[in-house]
Amino acid sequence: MVRLAMTDSQATLTATESSFKRPMALFDRRALLAALGGAAMATMAQPRSAYAQARQRMRRVGVLTWWSEYDPEGQSQAVALAQGLAKLGWTEGVNIRIEYRRVFGESERIDSYATQLVDHQPDLLVGVATPAVTALLRATRTIPVVFTEVSDPVGSGFVQTLARPGGNATGFVDIEASLGGKWVELLKEISPAMKRVGFMFNPKTAPGAGAYYLPPFEAAARASGIEPVEAPVRDPADIVAAFAGLAQQGGVILMPDAFVLSNRDIIVAQAARTKVPAIYPYRFFATSGGLMSYGVGLAEQNRQAASYVDRILRGEKPGDLPVQLPTQFELVINLKTARALGITVPATLAAGAATVIE
């Protein structure tokens, strides 16, 4: 292993309001009695109807995320979560209130933000990415936590097992360790002359990444006759140095790490400047100029997370809900970037891509 030396939306949720104007005749006698307060335990024919939810107490959900509210990707994820909840009958301002704390650019305040959310005693917390979930679980082991964009919940100590989380947290995994090897294979296929490949991540914002991702990455690299290079980055200067060190017959794999994702513009620019082929974990890298990406859709994962929020708010325990692994991955290739790098994309690779950007 070589180690590089480094220089130290709610707007979408208002559509259901008109459904509360349905005539009383649509409900059966039990529902009517319940509405009048005559039968607190009466069961409605459709327990998730707008009328039933109008009788529920307001639920509060706190969300801790590293995404900036001004980042289009962060906005799309917030909208996706809200849309997912709306489909399940949870309407902002009617029966649910969602409060955000955003850590972007203020990582030193993450514990403070987590404590603020916990102090408000919400019914449930959502943690987006490993640092946020870590902070939330430091602040509470009783309030339910649903996580998204987490790679290794067992290794991070969030759950006991994937099948039986056992504590107050459960959620959705975005990238499995095996993808460390898949990224190597894809990068080698698009850049067969590659002799070295660097694995870029921030050890501070991605603790445990070495134990989780590096073994399959190293094994796949060596099996392909490529020298694996660990490329830790802690600031923009490290990013510049890492790409400079891999400029000759090198390639770069970007780990799904909050620091890496928040510095994606710098990373994509350095890859173009040094002409280093790189593969990224999410499609928004490729759509913004990166060579290729292979991973899950984060907005869709946050939309799916709404199902667990719903189930827990309705009485299920997070410790009984199995952690969900990703089932669909998409390959995105940017042909314009490939041409700028002097790369000819194999026809077989392009044919297998979900999206090819001309």
Q: Would you write out the chain's pLDDT as a tens digit for each of its 358 residues?
A: 544 444 443 333 333 333 333 333 333 333 333 333 433 333 334 455 544 544 468 999 999 998 888 888 889 999 999 999 999 999 999 999 999 999 876 778 999 999 999 999 999 999 998 889 999 999 999 999 999 999 899 999 999 999 999 999 999 999 888 899 999 999 999 999 999 999 998 888 776 666 788 899 999 999 999 999 999 999 999 999 999 999 988 999 998 887 888 899 999 999 999 999 999 999 999 999 999 999 998 899 999 999 999 999 999 999 999 999 998 899 999 999 999 999 999 999 999 999 999 8
Residue that is written with structure tokens 């987590």 in the block: 114
Q: Is 194 exposed, middle or buried, given 0-12, 13-18 or 19+ CB atoms closer than 10 A?
A: buried
Q: What is the dihedral of CA 30, 35, 40, 46, to 10 degrees?
A: 60
**CATH class as words, domain 179-295+329-357:** alpha beta
**pLDDT score, position 210:** 64
- In angstroms, what is the C-alpha Rg of the chain? 23
pTM, to two decimals: 0.80
CB-CB contact of 39 with 33 (8 Å): yes
Q: Name residues whose C-beta falls within 8 Å of residue 153's C-beta, 6 or more positions apart in sequence.
A: 133, 147, 159, 162, 165, 169, 171, 173, 323
List the domain boundaries for the chain: 58-174+297-327, 179-295+329-357
Alpha carbon distance 31, 133 (integer Å): 40
Long-range contacts: 45-54, Cβ < 8 Å, 24+? Answer: 48/88, 48/89, 49/89, 50/16, 50/19, 50/20, 50/22, 50/89, 51/20, 51/22, 51/27, 53/89, 53/90, 53/91, 53/94, 53/95, 54/20, 54/94, 54/95
Say yes or no: do domains 58-174+297-327 and 179-295+329-357 share a fold.
yes
**DSSP 8-state secondary structure symbol assigned to residue 58:** P
**pLDDT score, position 256:** 83
Long-range contacts: 341-349, Cβ < 8 Å, 24+? Answer: 341/272, 341/275, 341/277, 341/291, 342/275, 343/190, 343/191, 343/277, 343/291, 345/190, 346/189, 346/190, 349/186, 349/189, 349/190
Count of C-beta atoms within a 10 Å radius of residue 39? 14
- Which tokens go with 16? 């259901």
Superfamily the domain 58-174+297-327 falls into: Response regulator (3.40.50.2300)
Bridging pattern class, strands 227-232 and 278-280: unpaired
Residue that is written with structure tokens 């140095």 in the block: 241
Residue that is written with structure tokens 């909208």 in the block: 79
